[in-house]
Chain A
Amino acid sequence: MNRQRDSQDSKYRQANWNEPLLFEMSVSGKIAHRLPAVEDEVKRLAGSLDAMIPAGMRRKQSPNLPEMSELQVVRHFTRLSQMNFSVSSGIYPLGSCTMKYNPLINEQAALNPGLAWLHPYQDVSTCQGALELMWELEQWLAELSGMDAVTLQPPAGAAGEFAGVMIIRAYHKHVMDEGDQRKEMLIPDAAHGTNPASAAMAGFKIVVLPSSNEGLVDLDALKAASGPQTAGLMLTNPNTIGVFEKDIGEIAGIVHDSGGLLYYDGANLNAIMGISRPGDMGFDVMHMNLHKTFSTPHGGGGPGSGAVGVKEKLIELLPVPCIVKVKEGRFDLNYNLPRSIGKVHGFYGNFGVLVRAYTYICALGKEGLRRTSEIAVLNANYIAHHISQIRGFSLPYSPNTPRMHECVISAENLAEETGVTAMHVAKRLLDLGLHSPTMYFPLIVPEALMIEPTESESKEDLDLLIGAFKQISNEAYSNPDIVKSAPHSTALHDLDEYRAAHPKTLTLSWRMHQKRTAK
């Protein structure tokens, strides 16, 4: 019989090695790697180190780095990896982060020496394959987004936002000659924190737009806020609660009529590939998180890539260099864009991430990308429906409107009736071998649990997640303490965050630790 796992019996036990710090394992004299000696002749001609480097610039005391054997290094990091939850370990429904499967062919491609060992300043004749890959990826992303050109330079979503709003700024300044006047960026209250942070870095004043009762852009508020001072509106669609902004045409009209541009936060592209395109909705600039929709791994926090797409009139403002196709099979880098916003990265972006996004698109193709979005939306609605049916949970804002790639569940009733909060639910999920959803975001939903299952999760796994919510609800109404005191089965729990952040105990390195304990 096909035995399905259920959450009841999968009491999760993560490895708990009690692993010391490298510094505590260090034994003087050990080595984990040897380097070859320099040829005698080279040494003789080069001369002595003392002659090469001024005495005052030599390091006097060798750095306090760990001294271990090779196996000790291997064991240390293997053990630490075992103390880390990941997509490969289990369901990771972290809303807004699109924790989908990271296909292994992507990794193999990125490690191919013909791609991984290219120096960015190599003669372009020696890296035509890399340029072709980037050029082709740009074309595909432009096609998917409905934009006219794409740059792959920004190394993450936030960096893409910064590049994008800098392009908006340059447009008003250099193309329209209205730079002094258009100082305000409109941003909905539900927007991701990077949106206002990026706009502020580009020198804009942030004007926050309240959401309507349906959790959508409030058209009256938008009309009232836009005018000759408006530089643009930053929006994501589907929006932060996972609902498609059906009035997008009117929204675009209002912003464009006021002379502003429309920025699309493409973190949520996973819902609409091959179905609808931001470029067709009226957006002028956007970023796409390749580490979300395009399956490149999140790496414990990064690296990502925040490719930026723009409409025709903004192409001249893109960061340099641009990749150009000189003729069939011949590519080059073009630095000659006098009105460019400049550079937002030291080279051409996170190339290794681009390789992975490229192989992902190759593998899925047009049919697979569309099907991906369909399943992502199906999975999110399945979750939204079944979890909102569970006692204590609800689906605030437009409960009868389908969700797109994610849903925001509220544990407000549960909290009122049992004292079990969204945070407690999240921690209890860890006991059951599941990662928690995104908590307390967006700010417009009380006790928010933002769930994005992605297309990668099977129905069996979705049922496991739903089952876990049911179990937690039952526990909350019968024995709330078990939930409130969770997690119980993780390697550690109840870490003192206050102590971590207090100036007297703040410890950000081994050096700081040693100084503090010496006192």
Chain B
Amino acid sequence: MEFKHPYLPITKEIESEMLSSFGKRSLEDLFSNIPEDYRLKRDLNIPTSRTELEVAQRVQELASKNKPADTGRVFLGAGAGIHYIPSVVPALATRSEFLTSYTSYQPEISQGMLQTLFEYQSMMAELLGIDVVNSSMYDMATGLAEAVLMAARVNKKRSKFLVPDTINPVHWQVINTFAEPAGITIERVGHDQKSMLLDLADLKSKLDSQVAGVYVENPSYLGFIEPQVDEINRIVHDAGSLLVVGVDVLSLGILRPPGNYGADIIVGEGQYLGSAVSYGGPYLGVFGCRDRMKIIRQLPGRLVGMTRTSNEPYKRGFVLTLVPREQHIRREKATSNICSNQALVAVTAAVYTSTLGPEGFRHLGEIIAHRSHYAAKQLNKISGVTAPAFGASFWKEFVVRFEGDASAQLVHESLLKRDLHGGKILTEEYPEFGESMLLCVTELHGKTAIDQLVEVVRDVVTKGGGTR
């Protein structure tokens, strides 16, 4: 019987008609160039075709083996953020005309996507306090890796890059993957033992004429806020290096924008802006830089520019611009190999940001600060628990340390039993912290869930066991 499928509009009858229209008798004639030796002479070892209903059932079967984090009971962050998503966001961002288009190579019929991406660039620029933002990188980790490469292109004769030693270990891994073949050495700058803040003396001692750029984060991977930014700005620029800042874009309703303290390049994770955590992707590398041609020319990724029609009456319009930086023109001399990016996640971020507006960003920043500080204070009341584990101030994430016999693993397992999920265990990454965990509290975490978390931790730390 003929195999029919909803995705395939050519029936066997139409197939014959089409073949004979150009003098072929069978499909086989079209594959004549593939030598016999390279033909697959058996069926693929892949399950047989399923109907839509069967596919939906299989998906539900898989989904039901997971425990989703939309309950407000999962206190994980560390580069992926569990936040509320207003209903307008997915409804608009996944409109079919956005979803099923590709890069706007034909601006005449793609003004909708181009204007949306221009608005994305513009709103991110407002949040970051910088003039230029590209239309997306893959995620924050690869965005940072590109920032390292970019700094070394702007500062052509320099081949070192400094990062704080409190950097996200995954970011450390990703930037090293990219930097090593480019001949760039990445060095770590130490921190003050009590506050975890950047050790400025160590920064100065490492900041020689070989350093192309210096990276700082706000808030940092470990959650603390780095307040020495004005001094860092001065020190880094006095040495002729670029200042690269990693930022939590969602904090920028209440925290000072990096453009305000001299950042030349800014990177951030845009998943927080209206996209679900989705097991690690698709995310959004927010990537911005200063309005200086020397820097802009080294920018990776696509840029949408505002322009107008060539002739009067002039009408405003949008186009992809500065394309000669890109791989399809410049090939091996391009600023990056990036081609497909994360445009739809940028559209999502645009809808989210315009939905929240300035008031929403400020309020959200405050809500998160209140909830996370409440959690830390409650935890810190437990004897044998320190939260936050170090002195500096924080916003959304903080390290909690367990003393005595309670291991972070035991706390984690006890929380799981109560249908809660603790933060990322840091014991391996940061053995010097002892038994510790990076907790993340957002607007999704209500008082009840926080109180239950605190109660389980108290149980484990004071009684040595989480089961009840």
Contacts and interface: CB of A to CB of B under 8 A. Distances in A.
Nearest to A120: B280
B358 A65 contact: yes
A212 to B, nearest CB: 14
Interface in A21-50: 21-23, 30-33, 35-36, 38-39, 41-43, 45-47, 49
A159 interface: yes
B290 to A, nearest CB: 11
Q: Among the interface residues A59, A108, A110, A367, which one has the most CB atoms of the partner chain B within 10 A?
A: A59
Given A353-B281, A510-B126, A300 B343 contact: yes
Interface size class of B (residues with CB under 8 A): 35 or more
A132 B282 contact: no
A120 B282 CA distance: 11
Contacts of A304: 340
A274 to B, nearest CB: 5
Closest 7 CB pairs of A and B: A347-B280, A114-B63, A299-B344, A365-B49, A301-B343, A129-B65, A84-B112
Contacts of B109: 14, 84-85, 430, 435, 487, 490-491
A456 B9 contact: yes
A342 B176 contact: yes
A286 interface: no
Contacts of B132: 508-509, 512
Contacts of A297: 99-100, 344
Nearest to A248: B38
Contacts of B188: none
A73 B121 contact: no
A386 interface: yes
Contacts of A156: 138, 338-341
Contacts of B107: 492, 495
Interface size class of A (residues with CB under 8 A): 35 or more
Contacts of A371: 3, 5, 8
Contacts of B205: none
Interface string A501-519: 1010111111111010000
B39 A276 contact: yes
A22 B281 contact: no
11 contacts: A42-B447, A53-B255, A62-B253, A64-B358, A80-B113, A119-B76, A158-B340, A166-B177, A197-B327, A510-B125, A511-B125
A68 B280 contact: no
B96 interface: yes
A402 B32 contact: yes
A115 B62 contact: yes
Given A81-B92, A346-B139, 14 more contacts: A33-B355, A66-B357, A81-B96, A83-B112, A115-B68, A161-B337, A301-B117, A343-B170, A345-B280, A366-B47, A375-B8, A402-B29, A493-B309, A508-B125
B282 A200 contact: no
Contact of B364 (A35, A64, A129): A35
A19 interface: yes
Q: Among the interface residues B21, B34, B321, B338, which one has the most CB atoms of the partner chain A within 10 A?
A: B34
Contact of B183 (A45, A118, A203, A344): A203
B317 interface: yes
Q: Among the interface residues A115, A117, A513, which one has the most CB atoms of the partner chain B within 10 A?
A: A117
